[in-house]
Structure 1
Amino acid sequence: MPGVADVLTDVSLEITAADREDLGAAAVALAPGTSVAITHLSTQTGDEHLAAARAVADLGLTAIPHLAARRLSTADELASTLSAHEDQGTSERVMVVGGDPREPHGPYSEAAQVIESGLLAAHGVREVGIAGYPDGHPAIPSEELHRLLVRKLDAIAADGMDARIVTQFCFDVDVVLAWVAGVRAAGIDVPIRVGVPGPAGVRRLVSFARRCGVRSSATLARKYGFSVTSLVGSAGPDRFLEGFADGLDAGVHGDVRVHLFALGGLDAAAGWLARHPATA
């Protein structure tokens, strides 16, 4: 049975473009080549996002820029964004998400349309990350989520690219493990990264959970290691990862790794990783 150090082997990290200034100090806690995804917030420009990806690569880490479908105004904007990443060597791996705007800014209303555009492979993309939702989605029924997942995986394979599923975080380890087992039972064998929040203030964790449609009942909060009634203090992923390691079965769950969201800041996430080294 694996332990926490085992499941942190090949851990990946998710940051924002605003974390670029802290990358140098945090990189000492990361193994060379560590995958670092850069989410594209509405408050950050395309140039800032591009510069953050370049900063990640300059530190010997693997940049994974996010492409937010509903934030793209035109197909030309998608092509120029990919071209800019290709020029600076950060286009081989991307994460394609729907994005947070309620209404699309242009022709893409969902991630599948970006993947099906043919532009990713044309600009050197070799691996595409797509989202998984163990807790479900507040606006999309479970059956539709599965149909979209299969559609995206088929489109990725049709263009000769590899796929990886990165899940939204969830406070219930049993739900996550059951979701992964269900994906495998459906015949999907691509690598999965289970999203886990890094150390963060309780108020911030609950705020992100509500924004993303993640359940945060009092029972789940206690199970994860915090209280939703006081909203004080902070919580880390230790208890979740212990349960995850205990329940993980390679024969059932396949290739599963951890993806750490730096919700409490890059310094906190890197510090936690430094205190919890993975197995070699």
Structure 2
Amino acid sequence: MALLNFRKREIERPSGTPEMEAFLAGYSIEVMPRTAEKIADFRALLAPGTRVYIAHIDGTPIQDMVATARRLAEDGFPVMPHFPARIIKDQATLADWIARYQGEAGVDQALLLAGGVAEPHGEFHSSMQLMETGLFDKAGFTRLHVAGHPEGNRDIDPDGGARNVEDALRWKQAFSERTDAKMALATQFAFEAEPIIQWANDLAEAGITLPIHIGIAGPAKLQTLIKFAIACGVGPSLRVLQKRAMDVSKLLLPYEPTDIVTKLAAHKAANPDFNIEQVHFFPLGGISSNANWAIEHGGAATAPATGH
């Protein structure tokens, strides 16, 4: 039944604007092993070629991560597992993860990030250290993404500034220029378009040319979004949710990212060189509801075969 629904919606005219349809084309989405288990058939929800990130939460066995990657790869989706530096004990563990992903699921791309734990489990504490091992280049990975933070990151800059984040981005920019792997920034989600646009423009002015895959929170209950936003350190744009929570008429309605996506899409259409290239969805209210929202707003097009 779900497959029939998907085909029907592909034929119907989406409710999104042409700008939104173009902006959503080739979007990616994030899953975890436990959330992926709830989906009977990803092919009924996602367009062929959709990149699927697999989030690695501390405590998740590597075999569960690899099994999820293998399932998605067998369904024809490019898989990008997370490699959180602070939960990887040592270089031997990193090499083992890479070998498992490649050997069992054919993985050749990764999101490298520090990870959410306060104390490293071993010798790594940053994505830069993972890149410096040379193991991803040695394994022939074709794509490496790193984290971006439109509203800053207090784990990296405890004073609320951006100096350490900017230094790290300059290092990653330099790394991108000496590796064969394609690179991009996959960002934390936020809820206001204007500060995201300013952040992206500031990066470009600073010479950071890595393409940006902007994080967008999918449809979810307001309480769920506020909980995740606080836990993930979302900054000033949290006020968008707080303002909505004060409106009794909207309190019980699920949040949808229509406003922020519409504004970003319009800006991209008016400024083709704008460095936000794709949307990356965090399906905080469920994979199915996020995929269905994307389909309804024109995001069902096949992901591009090339690009970042």
TM-score normalised to structure 1 length = 0.91
- Structure 1: segments with no counterpart, 5+ residues: none
Matched, 1:205 2:221: no
Q: Which residue of 2 aligns with 1:254?
A: 275
C-alpha distance in 1, partners of 2:18/2:298? 14
Of residues 35, 39, 48, the one that matches 1:19 is 35
Q: Describe the shift of the 1:46–1:85 C-alpha distance in structure 2 as closer, same or farther (beyond 3 A).
A: same
User: Does the residue aligned with 1:22 lie in a helix, a strand or coil?
Assistant: coil
C-alpha distance in 2, partners of 1:157/1:104? 28
C-alpha distance in 2, partners of 1:168/1:72? 21
Question: Could you tell me which amino acid in structure 2 is paired with residue 227 of structure 1?
Answer: A
Q: What is the CA-CA distance between 1:86 and the residue it aligns to? A: 1.4
Count of residues in Structure 1 that have an aligned counterpart in Structure 2: 278
Of residues 129, 133, 143, the one that matches 1:113 is 129
Of residues 88, 107, 117, the one that matches 1:72 is 88
C-alpha distance in 2, partners of 1:199/1:147? 34
C-alpha distance in 1, partners of 2:173/2:40? 35
Of residues 122, 142, 147, the one that matches 2:167 is 147
Of residues 35, 42, 46, the one that matches 2:58 is 42
What are the residue-to-residue correspondences of 1:183-262 with 2, within 5 Å? 183-215=203-235, 219-221=239-241, 226-227=244-245, 232-248=252-268, 249-254=270-275, 256-262=277-283
* Preserved CA contact (<8 Å) 2:294 2:300: no
What are the residue-to-residue correspondences of 1:92-107 with 2, within 5 Å? 92-107=108-123
Q: Which residue of 2 aligns with 1:180?
A: 200
User: Structure 1 residues 68-77 or 184-193, which shifts more?
Assistant: 184-193
* Preserved CA contact (<8 Å) 2:69 2:105: no
Question: Could you tell me which amino acid in structure 2 is paired with residue 15 of structure 1?
Answer: V
Q: Describe the shift of the 1:197–1:20 C-alpha distance in structure 2 as closer, same or farther (beyond 3 A).
A: same
- Structure 2: segments with no counterpart, 5+ residues: 1-16, 302-308
Q: Which residue of 1 aligns with 2:9?
A: none
The RMSD of aligned alpha carbons is 2.2
Q: What is the CA-CA distance between 1:29 and the residue it aligns to? A: 2.6
* Preserved CA contact (<8 Å) 2:29 2:53: yes
Q: What is the CA-CA distance between 1:255 and the residue it aligns to? A: 5.1
* Preserved CA contact (<8 Å) 1:91 1:124: no
C-alpha distance in 2, partners of 1:260/1:218? 17
Q: Percent identity?
A: 27
